[in-house]
C-alpha cells in the first residue's frame, strides 16, 4: 500500500487528552494461524470500530472524556501491508540494558488506550474491542488503571508534573513537518512497571524524596544543589526541547501486593523517548542510573505508531 499524499487534513487521535479516572490498556499479538486476507479484513473492522466507539461516546456521553486510541506495531504494519515507507522511527523496540537494570523489549502488534471518567463506559468499550480482537489475536497485556488521589503513583508522588500543557502538548506529541506523510500521527511507547512497595515504604520520606527529586507532599522540585544526580527527575527529564506527553496510571491488586505504574507516552519523535530511557537505565554518565529502578521493575516495553484519524479511516476500508 502506497502512502496517500492527498490528505487535506491531519487530525490526531486523542493522544493529548489528559488522564481521566478509569483506563484500560490492552496489548495484542496477532495469531499466525489465520490467512492474511482474513486478518486484513478483521483489521479493517477494528479500525472502523475504533472510529465508531469514539464518535458514539462523544454523542452519547459528551462530558465523559471518553476515547479510544489505537496504536500499531512495526511487524503488524509490515505484515498488513500498510503504507510504505513506514513512519520514520517506527521499529521494534530494542532492549536497553544498563549494568543493573534493563528496559525490556516485548513483541506486540496492537495497543488500545481506553479512557473514560465513568468506569462502566471504559469497561464496555474495552469489552467490545476484545470481542472483536479475540477472533484473530491474543491479549498479552491487560491493565486496568485508576486515578490515585491527585494524580499520584502508588509510590505516593505526583506523576506527570513535567508534562507539557496547552499548544505544547500537540507540539511534543504529534508528528508534523519532520515526517510529512504521517502528519497527525504519534509514537506510542509503553512499559508496565511493578513496584517493590515493601522496600519503598521502608525508606524514610526524606530518602524517598531524594529518589524522586521532588517533595512528596507539595510536589516541589528540589534545587539543583540538593537534587541527587541519580534522582528520577534529574534523569527522566532530558530538557525543555525534548518532552513527551505522559498518561501514566497506577494499577494493581492489593491481595497479591502487585502494584505498579503503566508508563505510557506519546511523542512526535521516538528518539526523545530513547534518550530518556538511556538516561534512566544506562545512566548519565554511564553507571549513574535512575535510582527509582531499584524499586520499580519494567516488565514490558513496546513501541507503536498511532495513525491520524484520516489514515485510520482509510485503513477501515
What does each C-alpha distance from 2 to 6, 7, 20, 181, 311 come to in angstroms?
A: 12, 13, 37, 10, 12
Say whether 159 is catalytic. Answer: yes
Do residues 30 and 136 make contact, with C-beta atoms less than 8 angstroms apart?
Answer: yes
> Which of 75, 99, 109, 159 is the catalytic position?
159
Q: Using alpha carbons, select from 258, 82, 254, 58 the residue that is nearest to residue 181.
A: 82
What residues have CB less than 8 Å from 108, skipping those under 6 apart?
Answer: 27, 28, 29, 73, 140, 141, 302, 304
Q: Show which residues are catalytic.
A: 159
Amino acid at each position: 500500500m502506497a502512502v496517500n499524499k492527498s490528505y487535506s487534513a491531519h487530525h490526531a487521535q486523542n493522544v493529548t487528552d489528559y488522564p481521566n479516572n478509569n483506563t484500560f490498556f490492552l496489548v495484542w499479538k496477532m495469531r499466525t494461524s489465520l490467512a492474511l486476507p482474513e486478518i486484513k479484513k478483521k483489521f479493517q473492522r477494528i479500525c472502523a470500530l475504533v472510529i465508531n466507539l469514539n464518535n458514539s461516546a462523544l454523542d452519547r456521553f459528551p462530558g465523559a472524556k471518553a476515547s479510544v486510541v489505537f496504536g500499531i506495531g512495526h511487524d503488524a504494519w509490515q505484515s498488513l501491508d500498510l503504507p510504505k515507507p513506514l513512519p520514520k522511527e517506527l521499529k521494534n523496540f530494542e532492549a536497553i540494558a544498563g549494568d543493573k537494570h534493563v528496559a525490556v523489549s516485548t513483541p506486540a502488534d496492537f495497543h488500545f488506550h481506553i479512557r473514560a471518567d465513568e468506569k462502566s463506559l471504559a469497561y464496555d468499550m474495552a469489552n467490545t474491542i476484545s470481542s472483536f480482537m479475540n477472533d484473530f489475536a491474543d491479549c498479552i497485556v491487560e491493565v486496568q488503571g485508576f486515578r490515585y488521589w491527585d494524580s499520584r503513583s502508588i509510590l505516593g508522588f505526583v506523576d506527570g508534573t513535567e508534562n507539557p500543557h496547552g499548544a505544547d502538548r500537540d507540539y511534543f506529541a504529534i508528528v508534523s513537518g519532520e515526517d510529512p506523510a504521517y502528519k497527525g500521527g504519534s509514537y506510542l511507547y509503553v512499559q508496565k512497571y511493578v513496584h517493590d512497595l515493601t522496600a519503598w515504604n521502608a525508606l524514610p520520606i526524606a530518602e524517598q524524596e531524594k529518589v524522586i527529586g521532588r517533595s512528596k507532599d507539595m510536589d516541589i522540585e528540589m534545587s539543583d544543589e540538593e537534587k541527587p544526580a541519580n534522582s528520577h527527575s534529574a534523569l527522566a527529564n532530558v530538557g525543555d526541547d525534548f518532552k513527551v506527553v505522559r498518561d501514566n496510571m497506577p494499577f494493581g491488586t492489593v491481595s497479591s501486593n502487585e502494584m505498579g505504574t503503566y508508563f505510557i507516552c506519546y511523542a512526535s519523535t521516538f528518539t526523545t523517548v530513547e534518550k530518556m530511557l538511556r538516561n534512566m537505565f544506562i545512566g548519565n554518565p554511564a553507571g549513574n542510573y535512575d535510582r527509582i529502578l531499584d524499586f520499580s521493575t519494567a516488565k514490558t516495553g513496546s513501541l507503536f505508531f498511532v495513525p491520524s484519524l484520516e489514515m485510520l479511516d482509510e485503513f477501515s476500508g
